[in-house]
Amino acid sequence: MSASDLPSCNDQPSGTHLPPCNDQPPVSALTVDLRDLAAAAHSPVPQAFAADPDLRQILDGQRTSCWTIGGLGLVGFGRAAHVVVTGEDRFTAARDWWDRLTTQLHITDPLNRSATGPVAFGALTFARASTTSSGLVLPELVVGHDDDGAWVTLVSTQPEVQMQDVMAAWTRLVPQLQPVGSRHPDPATAPVAVADPAADRSWCSAVADGVGLISEGKLEKLVLARAVEVRSDAQPLDVPGALRNLAADYSTCWTYSVSVEDHADPSVNRLFGATPERLVRVLDGKLHARVLAGTLDRASVPPGIDPQRWAQQKLLDDPKQRAEHEFAIDSLLGSVSAYTNQVVSSPDPFVLELPNVWHLASDVTAELTPGPDGTVPSALELVEAIHPTAAVCGTPTHAAAEAITQLEGMDRGLYAGPVGWLDSRHNGDFGIALRGGVQRDAHRAELYAGCGVVEASVPAEELAETRAKLRPVLGALGVTPA
């Protein structure tokens, strides 16, 4: 196999672009057990980390891709290859590129389980008409950790990769280990959220218009989002630090980060956040999803009331919250029906407790039906089938998407789109890019939050809900309100 057999700048799917033609493509990948790597002579991997590999300790790099939850998951460093896609066929173009690239890689993976071997991190836009870039990134080095252990995968332009190559890449790419925990900038130099009362009023008016569409029978549910700008004039925004804060403080959420485009400045258009909502996971022929719809701000608990009982009453017994949740469940089940003959959902929704809010949640699992060739659908194929769900768009989907375009007045870009990873075996794990934002440059970011609008929605209450949803990432950045 030669490097010319791999996807190149002159041989690529429509609507995509690859790295410049003078970039040498990767041809091999080696996965090693983290304990073996740490035990090797002159290894840069600390024995203490190999014994307790909490990935939150290495979330400190500028060119880091990640998908972690409670110290488990994947953290990628560097960039061996990437593809940028746009438009209606963005999912298909990304999937085709990945399948071709992994088919032609020489992969040595003695562990041979989900997420070992080459892994791509991906982020795709919410809307097909978005002008924002979607795509996949294949990191040079990935550190992974699951319930069965930890590993390291190196992707290389060399035809053969040895243990010493993995150690050299670790030394070059992996930052110094940091203790797990929150850190915040000096309040005197902390970034600020730019207040915009006119934008708040405009958004509340859009919510009222959405309620009107629902009252007229044109929609059943609509999800409307808004953006808040964060600026840091005194010093650059510390997004790596924010990721570590989110991973520590929201350990039951999936902390994510990926830069689809390859900019000299890694801060440009970097997507980051910590989502509580898993869109779809494919693991060994099974589908797993977590549906969230229905939100309650923990700061709104009346004095003297038991918080847990109050949350149960306000979420489980509230017709508005239950209706919003049922729309989201029905949306997911309808999307996956063609891929499975058996779906199991939580018999009743449960209350998911996060530090800032409670959510009404349901877990869904399904046995995927193999195709004629005996293989099950890939994670990215299912992502395309499921997205957008009612939880981030509305019901009916097409009418809600049109209303979003008319009422929001912005391109959501990667916000509320799929974000996650996929491997060469069709496994993968994707969430919805919520509770986060996009860093535009070293000193500026846009953060996003939305809420489900139904006929009983009150604009001022929905605005308050978006503020509650913005608190995690604002706090992680150390933002002082303007």
Q: Which helix (H) or strand (E) holds 38?
A: helix 34-39
**Residue 339 identity (one-letter amino acid):** Y
Question: Which residue has tokens 């959405």?
Answer: 210
Q: How do beta strands 428-432 and 418-423 pair?
A: antiparallel
User: Can you tell me whether residue 52 is helix, strand or coil?
Assistant: coil
User: Can you tell me whether residue 163 is helix, strand or coil?
Assistant: helix
Residue 425 near residue 114 (C-beta atoms within 8 A): yes
Q: Which helix (H) or strand (E) holds 319?
A: helix 319-336
Give me the helices (H) in 29-162, please.
34-39, 47-51, 90-104
Question: Which residue has tokens 């009023």?
Answer: 201
Residue 55 near residue 77 (C-beta atoms within 8 A): no
Instruction: Find the angle CA(76)-CA(79)-CA(82) to the nearest 5 degrees.
Output: 110
Residue 65 near residue 258 (C-beta atoms within 8 A): yes
Report the catalytic residues. 221, 277
Q: Which residues contact 111 (CB under 8 A, 6 or more apart)?
A: 31, 33, 149, 151
93 CA to centre of own chain: 19
Give the other-Cβ count within 10 Å of 370's Cβ. 11
Structure tokens at 136: 């996949």
Q: CA-based Rg of the chain, rounded to a whole angstrom?
A: 22
